[in-house]
Structure 1
Amino acid sequence: MQDSSTITKPTKSRFPRSVPFIIGNEAAERFSFYGMRSILTLFLVKQFFNPTGDAALTEQANAHANKLHHLFVMVAYALPFVGGMIADWFTGKYKLILYVSMVYCVGHLMLALFDGGLSGFELGLLVVAIGAGGIKSCVSANVGDQFDATNQDLLSKVYGWFYFSINAGSMISTVAIPEVYKYFGPKWAFGVPGFLMALATIIFFSGRKRYVKVPPQGVNRNNLVFITWYSLTHQGQRKPGQSFLDVAKDSYNPERVEGVKAVYRVMSVFFFALAFWAVWDQCLSEWTLYAEKMNRVISLGFTSFTVEPGQLSTVNTVFLLAFIPLFNYLIYPWLDKRGLKTTPLRRIGTGLVLTALSFVVIGVIHNDIMHGGTPSIWWQVLAFMILSAAEVLVSITGLEYAYTHSPKSMKSTMTGIWFLVVSFGNLITALVNGLIEDGGWWARNLKGANYEWFFVAFICVFLVAFLIVSPRLKERNYITDPYLDNQGLADINNL
């Protein structure tokens, strides 16, 4: 019999001591970002673009505010790709998060100080966008860096808490900041998110001695940008039977070249998500303006209260928290058992249909408002419910598709590209609002609910194209077929 004293008991996994600092930092940062966005469009209209409430200026003032809001989001989501490369190549994640967070705080301070001057306020928006975008690609990766082989089993749990902190921060802020704006004015409404961002920075700095800090790796030439550029400039050397990117295999890691191919395959799916991201952020801008003109009294039998326009986006978080388990554990399995396999491409297509439907509801609301009506705010709640279901089908599925259909060496790149899709979607909406602001054909023909009908048609064009193209898209799942990660080496050996 084995002596019990020699039996080694398995060590129980422990969360790294740095985790509470990262979770706290993320909750406070998301509070600051979504808090200021909840009142941004309404503030721009009332403070700068139509302070007198002139009905003749409504369309152009709203378009100007919406354009500025979407340009802000565009910059914020374009920079994670750049921030990730800077951290990986030059600074490391810790230094980049710390230093850019300080810039982020300065941006919030500028919003509070320059609430009476448009030029200063716009500069503050730019600085906030640089701060939010600069750290976005690093914070979630920094969570993973804290774990090793002894506690990898806790990684999924910590990411659960991480995303809980994101939703908690955004939910609390979208309830609180519109109230602060109503009772204390814009200085406090933009100042409070600034305090929370300063708190986020202090929390992050406080954990400095506990973090695992992965050092920068220097410039890595085996990436999407370098391989694509090399292929573009060396097409004359391409051998018979080689694809566009295969020419780079002579000078770059063949496995990485195959990874870049996978990136472009996934990007062909991401292209159709542009239709979703061109409209999603309107629920935090255009929809807020409509909510102000609706009947916002909520009666619950024993009590009633009035919802502030910027608070409506809170229901998006509520619906998401309900829909994610509903779809994953009930709807998808139920459909799969009945032979209607819920593949990623089918989910995305269905999500685009629901996105268009949510804008049909908003179009009906807008039309009623334009004809002097005051529709119930419950109609906008319905639109949020449909759009939240679309978000589960398009956004979450898109991230899953990016992870499963790209090799290990390209997973971070795919996350950055997904953020770029969000950025380009907001750019499209900003351009449309810019054309309305400038007058002419767009201003005449996109008045009132025609604005929503335009985007319904826009989504439908993408949907029809998706139905034509999706059956022809080649799917290569790197999770179910790990051999694909070595396919590049096999290909080069067979040449």
Structure 2
Amino acid sequence: MSKGFFGHPAGLSTLFFTEMWERFSYYGMRAILILFMTASVADKGLGIDPSNAGAIYGLYTAAVYLFTLPGGWLADNILGQRKAIWYGGILIMIGHLILAIPGSPGIFVVGLVFVATGTGLLKPNISTVVGDLYPEGGARRDQGFSIFYMGINLGSFLGQILVPLLADYNWHWGFGAAAIGMFFGLLQFRLTQGKLNDLGLKPKLKEETEEGKVVRKTNTVLTGILALALVGFLALLQYFKVIDVTTATGIAQAVGIIIVVITLFYFLYIMVAGGLDPVELKKVLVIFCLFIGAALFWSGFEQAGSSLNLFARDFTNRMIGTWEMPAGMLQSVNALVIIIFAPIVGWIWVKLAARNLNPNTPIKFGIGIILMGLGFVVMYFAAQYAAAGTKVGMGWLWFTFFLHSIGELTLSPVGLSATTKLSPKRYVGQMMGIWFVGASLGNLIAGLFAGGVDAENASQMPALFMSVVVFSVISGALFILFNPILKKWMGNVN
């Protein structure tokens, strides 16, 4: 593989720009999604109430991460990574084109399904091919992923600037810009994929042993039993009016219950019948704790596109001179902070490690969750001004996004790395899937939370934001408090 992209394999440029344009389309569209749904019909929106709009937003963003599980399986067993990336990009582009055409809420949901399905195909598999560029592993592989990560944030930043700007004139121009962005990604992928040589062309399917067939058959039976039990459980909840699956909010709540139950069942099954030795068992317990921490963090962080986006629209003074900045553009702060501070945070960890002071994973998780909570401390005070009838300055949201972004840098890369290191070798792929499920659950919660941010009832917002503060600070403190135990269970994994 020739070197041709910042001293790395030339194929990295193909993947860098494909992911950059895909993230342009995803985050650009996400920046206007809930705003479009809650805008009145007179303003060319869908006129959906905040509660149901938040639930739809949560279901969509949760599906994006959940669909990475079947997307990875299809690539490994049938398509190969290259075809999965190509077809995934096509589905994403079609979805955005559907959203760009004015239509009914039903057609709108169809567009979201296309985007979520395509993202589930593309996102996990493009990262897999990045890893395949470096069969030797090591620090150079980490550097390659860092460059790739910069492409993600560059696309995110540009998308969250341009798409909301166009949507401010016409919602469907914004959705159309997302489609064009994905088209550029597909075009350059098709034209430059030769740089990848034969990487990702064939499925990674290996011959299955008799033992593997028995395990798969057992898992299929257990999955069927669990599915029936879940259906019965949800039916009971519906019967006793705990949830209402005839509404978007009720469906989102039901999906949340399903995700939690399946995850708990999976961990229980692995720990009881997964053939783990005592050391592996303790490491899997740590992964379970990291899953909970990740879900908590993303449930607050991902409110950037839901509750905080609505706050930016309804309660924030966005005037710069005579021009009013579109609300969705404020989300670009996150990507900008990541681009600027990712090298700085990485440098800090290296310097601390040289002095044997580098915090281990549970402490970094605790810090990340607490930083997310501190961001909502800022929003608590901003919400008090808003509840009193005063529009707040954009600096409140900027500072919140800054704290959340530093929290992301403290938690997300560390959690991803720790999961790969802690997982028993035969379960690495599944545990990585669980990491995405944690993000899915967090996104779903973030969407449901947005239902409480209502321009007609601003007085309830301070209490809503303070509930996030209390929950996150206590959770982060617990990670730090129980660090000695978790560190012991982790063994030699930092």
Shared fold per TM-score greater than 0.5: yes
Give per-residue Cα distances to partners, 1:363-415, cap 9 Å, x unaligned. 21122112111211111111111111111122222112213323555444333
Q: 1:103 aligns with which of 91, 107, 115?
A: 91
Equivalence for 1:319? 337
Which amino acid in the other structure matches residue 329 of structure 2?
A: Q
Structure 2 residue 72 is matched with structure 1 residue 84: yes
Q: 1:35 aligns with which of 28, 32, 43?
A: 28
| Contact 2:303-2:447 at 8 Å conserved across structures | no
Structure 2 residue 152 is matched with structure 1 residue 166: yes
TM superposition shift of 1:45: 1.1
| Contact 2:317-2:393 at 8 Å conserved across structures | yes
Equivalence for 1:144? 131
Provide the rounded CA distance (Å) in 1 between the counterparts of 2:337 and 2:427: 32
| Contact 1:90-1:218 at 8 Å conserved across structures | no
| Contact 2:75-2:125 at 8 Å conserved across structures | yes
Which amino acid in the other structure matches residue 332 of structure 2?
A: T
Which amino acid in the other structure matches residue 136 of structure 1?
A: K
TM superposition shift of 1:78: 1.0
Equivalence for 1:133? 120
The verdict on how the C-alpha distance between 1:230 and 1:448 changes in structure 2, with shifts beyond 3 A counting, is: closer
The verdict on how the C-alpha distance between 1:398 and 1:215 changes in structure 2, with shifts beyond 3 A counting, is: same
TM superposition shift of 1:138: 0.6
Q: 2:161 aligns with which of 158, 175, 181?
A: 175
Percent identity reads: 27
Which amino acid in the other structure matches residue 448 of structure 1?
A: M
Provide the rounded CA distance (Å) in 1 between the counterparts of 2:281 and 2:124: 19
Structure 2 residue 345 is matched with structure 1 residue 359: no
Provide the rounded CA distance (Å) in 1 between the counterparts of 2:274 and 2:20: 43
Structure 2 residue 189 is matched with structure 1 residue 204: yes
| Contact 2:26-2:178 at 8 Å conserved across structures | yes
Equivalence for 1:279? 300
Give per-residue Cα distances to partners, 1:78-124, cap 9 Å, x unaligned. 111221122112222122222222222211111111x3421111121
Please list every run of 5 or more consecutive structure 2 residues that lacks an aligned counterpart in the other structure.
Answer: 224-268
| Contact 1:35-1:174 at 8 Å conserved across structures | yes
The verdict on how the C-alpha distance between 1:260 and 1:330 changes in structure 2, with shifts beyond 3 A counting, is: closer
Equivalence for 1:93? 81
RMSD: 3.7
| Contact 1:404-1:478 at 8 Å conserved across structures | no
Provide the rounded CA distance (Å) in 1 between the counterparts of 2:349 and 2:398: 22
Aligned runs of 1:208-219 on 2, under 5 Å?
208-209=193-194, 210-212=197-199, 213-218=201-206
Q: 1:291 aligns with which of 284, 303, 312?
A: 312
Q: 2:179 aligns with which of 191, 194, 197?
A: 194
Structure 2 residue 462 is matched with structure 1 residue 449: yes
Which amino acid in the other structure matches residue 475 of structure 2?
A: F
Structure 2 residue 252 is matched with structure 1 residue 265: no
Aligned runs of 1:389-428 on 2, under 5 Å?
389-428=406-445
TM superposition shift of 1:332: 6.8
Provide the rounded CA distance (Å) in 1 between the counterparts of 2:83 and 2:282: 32
Q: Larger C-alpha radius of gyration, 1 or 2?
A: 1
Equivalence for 2:490? 476
Provide the rounded CA distance (Å) in 2 between the counterparts of 1:192 and 1:12: 33
Provide the rounded CA distance (Å) in 2 between the counterparts of 1:103 and 1:219: 30
Provide the rounded CA distance (Å) in 2 between the counterparts of 1:393 and 1:291: 26
TM superposition shift of 1:294: 1.6
TM superposition shift of 1:68: 1.8
Which amino acid in the other structure matches residue 413 of structure 1?
A: Q
| Contact 2:312-2:327 at 8 Å conserved across structures | yes
TM superposition shift of 1:265: 3.3
| Contact 1:88-1:217 at 8 Å conserved across structures | yes
TM superposition shift of 1:62: 2.7
Provide the rounded CA distance (Å) in 2 between the counterparts of 1:186 and 1:124: 14
Provide the rounded CA distance (Å) in 2 between the counterparts of 1:148 and 1:350: 33
| Contact 1:361-1:379 at 8 Å conserved across structures | yes
TM superposition shift of 1:330: 3.2
Write out the 4+ residue segments of structure 1 that deviate beyond 6 Å after TM superposition. Answer: 11-14, 230-233, 257-261, 443-446
Secondary structure in structure 1 of the residue aligned to 2:392:
coil
| Contact 1:36-1:177 at 8 Å conserved across structures | yes
Please list every run of 5 or more consecutive structure 1 residues that lacks an aligned counterpart in the other structure.
Answer: 1-10, 234-242, 481-495
The verdict on how the C-alpha distance between 1:247 and 1:170 changes in structure 2, with shifts beyond 3 A counting, is: closer
Aligned residues: 436
Which amino acid in the other structure matches residue 203 of structure 1?
A: Q
The verdict on how the C-alpha distance between 1:478 and 1:79 changes in structure 2, with shifts beyond 3 A counting, is: farther
TM superposition shift of 1:276: 0.7
Equivalence for 1:6? none
| Contact 2:18-2:188 at 8 Å conserved across structures | yes
Provide the rounded CA distance (Å) in 2 between the counterparts of 1:424 and 1:126: 18
Secondary structure in structure 2 of the residue aligned to 1:313:
helix
Q: Larger deviation: 204-213 or 313-322?
A: 204-213
